[in-house]
Amino acid sequence: MARKLPAKDVVIIGLGWTGSILAYELAKSGLNVVAIERGPWRDTATDFPPAYAQDELRYAVRLDLFLRPDQQTMTFRNNASQTAMPIRSFSGFLPGNGVGGAGVHWNGQTWRFLPTDFNIRSHLEERYGKEALPADMTIQDWPVSYDELEPYYDRFEKLCGTSGKAGNIRGQKQAGGNPFEGWRSSEYPTPPLKQGLGATLFAEAARKTGHSPFPQPASNLSEAYVNPLGVKLGQCTYCGFCERFGCGNYAKSSPQTCVLPALMRFPNFSARTESEVTKINLDSTGKRATGVTYVDSTGKRATGVTYVDTSGEEWEQPADIVLMCAFSFFNVQLMLLSGIGKPYDPQTGQGVVGRNYAYQTTSSVSLILKDKILNPFIATGAHGMIIDDYNGDNFDHTGLGFFGGGYMGFGQTGARPIQTRPVPKGTPKWGAEWKKATAETYQRACSLATHGSSYSYKDCYLDLDPTYKDRLGRPLLRMTFDFHDNELKMSAFLTERLAEIAKAMDPVEITASPRKGPYDSTIYQTTHNTGGTVMGADPATSVGRRSRDQRAQSLLPELGRAQCLCARRRVGVPAKSRLQPDRHGGRAGVLDRRRHS
């Protein structure tokens, strides 16, 4: 039976980027805030110091910092004709865990959505006609525009100290930046990272073929920086151990390096780690969240019973405001388990929770160059030269047979000894020949990538699995997802365009690998899983929205002055590093019930 704790003003589920930023703002305003985090506390010098952070086997292969499936997982199927099976080992996407969440081990690629992403449906219909989009494509407009969100993008980049070069400052195009980006109110807080030879060669080839390359916006800082909270970050050392790794140099933006030192100073803020929220409690009318029930997650441990860590007991933490700041999947699962909102029914198309799950459609072009020393091990998570010419609706889609696009370019994040062993086609997979080829090819090989969109469809959604349960006896989340023709055609197109640029780099070997269907959940792309809690103007098709009305579906009380933060965090999160914009306008994250005054 759950024991009731003294009430707090705010309870935050998950202490990652979203949770820590909201915790800071709300604690600063004087509210009593408690954050409940499923995973452990993580600290730079204790958990990923430079002395051993760069351990590929431990972190990249054995996934030391990531969620373990036996703590929480989900089931997967491509479509409703299949039976979803549990993911027993994460490989296609890697949910994070612990304080800092994915902010600890992300690459730091810090993008803004394009202005047209915010009103994607009405924009595409206006340009290409109302009948242009497939009938089962369920993208919709966001209830907020790029212009409204821009100050918060700016604020987030300043919080991070993001390194980059602006391409458009208040309408004035800037040389060296991205000419397609939405207008920015200011330059990036720190200058762009230095580029390696590979990125430089790509940029030359891109320019030669009529494209506009620019340095990828990076939250691996090019120089030391003090952010608006007074927290200091260090300079990136280009160590090439970024994604999947914590940064020991205080140089990668994360809750640890940007927010927590300031947040932990508030005596009215507390965090409870290794405590898993099992349910959001509702009052008897079902209309108002009254707090959460959580279970300490390490109940199997033999060590004594303590209040936070090891009791395995159920605690009820009452609060006036409940903020869902877990990763997209787990917010959706929690809503479904708690009976919040109407679950999505793919048959009827009714309901909102779980609707419009989307992902990302990446592809690659690998090259081997001649007589080059690329030093690919000198890298950061987000350096590289990119083009946006084929992103979103930046190009005319007339007659192409698809919509959407992506950014692409040279963004190789490292060349680590276990997982990066490029060899020419036809090389044996082991033995003396393989060793020789590895040694000869390493310095000359590189990989280009496209990060393409993933629009929403009627038959791509999240719901609760009818069979499989987690360790606490709760139904697992079930993911139903496959690529549609639109995405595969888009990927083929983007990959061809990238291959053309790659050819201009004069390679001795080139391998273009467009994304092929069906979607295989074991092949790693990114962890840019989005959707399930769509944000929109219409309660029939959205979970979160901006509205003055008290509606039955909106169960969480208003955040008052924290209102805009939710919008900013949801959209302003570096989309490419954590979540690919899902084009329908929805992003799981903070649920809010805001009143815009």
Partner 1 sequence: MRRSLTSAALFVSLTGAAFAQGTQSFDRIERGRYLAILSDCAACHTAPGGAPYAGGLALQTPFGILVAPNITSDPDTGIGNMTNDEFLAVLHEGRGHNGKRLYPAMPYPAYTKMSDDDVLAMRSYFATVAPVSNRVVSNQLPFPLNIRLAMVFWNGLNFTSGRYQPNPQKSAEWNRGAYIVEGAAHCGTCHTPKTLLGGDKNNVALTGATLQGWFAPDITNDPRKGIGGWSKDDLVQYLKNGTNKWTLASGPMAEAVSHSTSHMTDDDIVAIATYLKDSGAAGAGSKPEPVAANNNAMRAGEAIYKDSCAACHRDSGEGEINLFPRLAGSALVQSDDPTTLARVVLHGTRAVSTPGAPTAPAMPAFDWRLDDAQVAAVLTYVRNAWGNAAVPVSADAVASQREALRKSP
Q: Which residues are catalytic?
A: 528
Compute the distance between CA of residue 221 and CA of residue 232 in angstroms, rounded to an integer: 11
Helix 146-160 to helix 563-572 angle (10° resolution) is 80
Q: Smaller CB distance to partner 1: residue 59 or 410?
A: 59
Piece in contact with partner 1 (CB under 8 A), picked from 260-268, 513-521, 543-551, 586-594: 260-268
Q: Could you tell me the smallest distance in angstroms from the CB atom of residue 49 to partner 1?
A: 3
- Total residues at interface with partner 1 (CB under 8 A): 26
Per-residue tokens: 185: 């109110």
Residue 557 as a binder of partner 1 (CB under 8 A): the answer is: no
Residue (of 303, 327, 316) closest to 277 by Cα position: 316
Residue 235 as a binder of partner 1 (CB under 8 A): the answer is: yes
Residue 248 as a binder of partner 1 (CB under 8 A): the answer is: yes
CB atoms within 10 A of CB 395: 15
Piece in contact with partner 1 (CB under 8 A), picked from 48-56, 123-131, 178-186, 520-528: 48-56
- Yes or no: say if 310 and 296 are a contact pair by the CB < 8 Å rule: yes
Per-residue tokens: 405: 């696009």
At 433, is the secondary structure helix, strand, or coil? helix
Q: Smaller CB distance to partner 1: residue 259 or 590?
A: 259
Piece in contact with partner 1 (CB under 8 A), picked from 186-194, 234-242, 499-507, 528-536: 234-242
Residue 40 as a binder of partner 1 (CB under 8 A): the answer is: no
Q: Could you tell me the smallest distance in angstroms from the CB atom of residue 23 to partner 1?
A: 15
Q: Smaller CB distance to partner 1: residue 11 or 233?
A: 233
DSSP string for residues in 13-62: E--SHHHHHHHHHHHHTT--EEEE-SS----HHHHS-TTTS--HIIIIIS
Piece in contact with partner 1 (CB under 8 A), picked from 115-123, 202-210, 221-229, 292-300: 221-229
Q: What are phi and psi of 359, to 5 degrees?
A: -140, -115
Could you say which of 86, 92, 191, 261 contacts partner 1 (CB under 8 A)?
261
Piece in contact with partner 1 (CB under 8 A), picked from 33-41, 235-243, 289-297, 381-389: 235-243
What mask, x for binding partner 1 by CB under 8 A, covers residues 320 to 339?
Answer: --------------------
- Yes or no: say if 423 and 434 are a contact pair by the CB < 8 Å rule: yes
Residue 5 as a binder of partner 1 (CB under 8 A): the answer is: no
Q: What are phi and psi of 370, to 5 degrees?
A: -110, 135
- Cα torsion angle, 368, 374, 375, 378, sign: negative
Helix 485-503 to helix 197-208 angle (10° resolution) is 100
Q: Smaller CB distance to partner 1: residue 225 or 481?
A: 225
The helix (run of H) or strand (run of E) holding residue 158 is: helix 146-160
Residue 229 as a binder of partner 1 (CB under 8 A): the answer is: yes
Q: Which stretches does DSSP call E strand in 396-471?
A: 406-410, 445-452, 461-469
Could you say which of 4, 30, 45, 186 contacts partner 1 (CB under 8 A)?
45
Residue 262 as a binder of partner 1 (CB under 8 A): the answer is: yes
Residue 378 as a binder of partner 1 (CB under 8 A): the answer is: no
- Yes or no: say if 199 and 385 are a contact pair by the CB < 8 Å rule: yes
Alpha helices in 412-562 (DSSP H): 432-441, 485-503
Could you say which of 18, 20, 44, 140 contacts partner 1 (CB under 8 A)?
44
Residue 308 as a binder of partner 1 (CB under 8 A): the answer is: no
Estimate to the nearest angstrom the gap between the alpha carbon of 122 and the chain centroid: 25
Residue 547 as a binder of partner 1 (CB under 8 A): the answer is: no
Could you say which of 5, 29, 40, 43 contacts partner 1 (CB under 8 A)?
43
Residue (of 384, 371, 123, 350) closest to 238 by Cα position: 384
Residue 228 as a binder of partner 1 (CB under 8 A): the answer is: no
The CA-based diameter of the chain, rounded to the nearest angstrom, is 72
User: What DSSP character marks residue 295?
Assistant: E
Residue 234 as a binder of partner 1 (CB under 8 A): the answer is: yes
Q: Smaller CB distance to partner 1: residue 17 or 250?
A: 250
Helix, strand, coil share (%) of the chain residues, nearest 5: 20, 25, 55
Q: Could you tell me the smallest distance in angstroms from the CB atom of residue 154 to partner 1?
A: 22
Q: Smaller CB distance to partner 1: residue 264 or 537?
A: 264
Could you say which of 57, 61, 80, 226 contacts partner 1 (CB under 8 A)?
226
Q: Smaller CB distance to partner 1: residue 140 or 220?
A: 220
Piece in contact with partner 1 (CB under 8 A), picked from 213-221, 262-270, 281-289, 526-534: 262-270
Estimate to the nearest angstrom the gap between the alpha carbon of 224 and the chain centroid: 25
From residue 584, give the alpha-carbon distance in Å to each of 359, 425, 542. 11, 40, 10
Could you say which of 231, 323, 368, 415 contacts partner 1 (CB under 8 A)?
231
Q: Could you tell me the smallest distance in angstroms from the CB atom of residue 305 to partner 1?
A: 20
Residue 239 as a binder of partner 1 (CB under 8 A): the answer is: yes
Q: Smaller CB distance to partner 1: residue 94 or 239?
A: 239
297: left (phi over 0), alpha (psi -120 to 50) or beta: alpha
Q: Could you tell me the smallest distance in angstroms from the CB atom of residue 282 to partner 1?
A: 36
Q: Smaller CB distance to partner 1: residue 307 or 524?
A: 307
At 442, is the secondary structure helix, strand, or coil? helix
List CB contacts of 411: < 8 A, sequence separation 6 or more: 109, 199, 216, 382, 383, 384, 386, 448, 449
Strands 509-513 and 593-594: unpaired
Could you say which of 1, 3, 6, 51 contacts partner 1 (CB under 8 A)?
51
Q: Could you tell me the smallest distance in angstroms from the CB atom of residue 44 to partner 1?
A: 7
Q: Could you tell me the smallest distance in angstroms from the CB atom of residue 161 to partner 1?
A: 13
Residue 151 as a binder of partner 1 (CB under 8 A): the answer is: no
Could you say which of 2, 9, 50, 127 contacts partner 1 (CB under 8 A)?
50
Q: Could you tell me the smallest distance in angstroms from the CB atom of residue 215 to partner 1?
A: 23
Residue linked to tokens 């791509």 = 460
Q: Smaller CB distance to partner 1: residue 49 or 518?
A: 49
The footprint of partner 1 (CB under 8 A) covers 43-46, 49-52, 224, 226, 229-235, 237, 239, 248-250, 261-262, 264-265
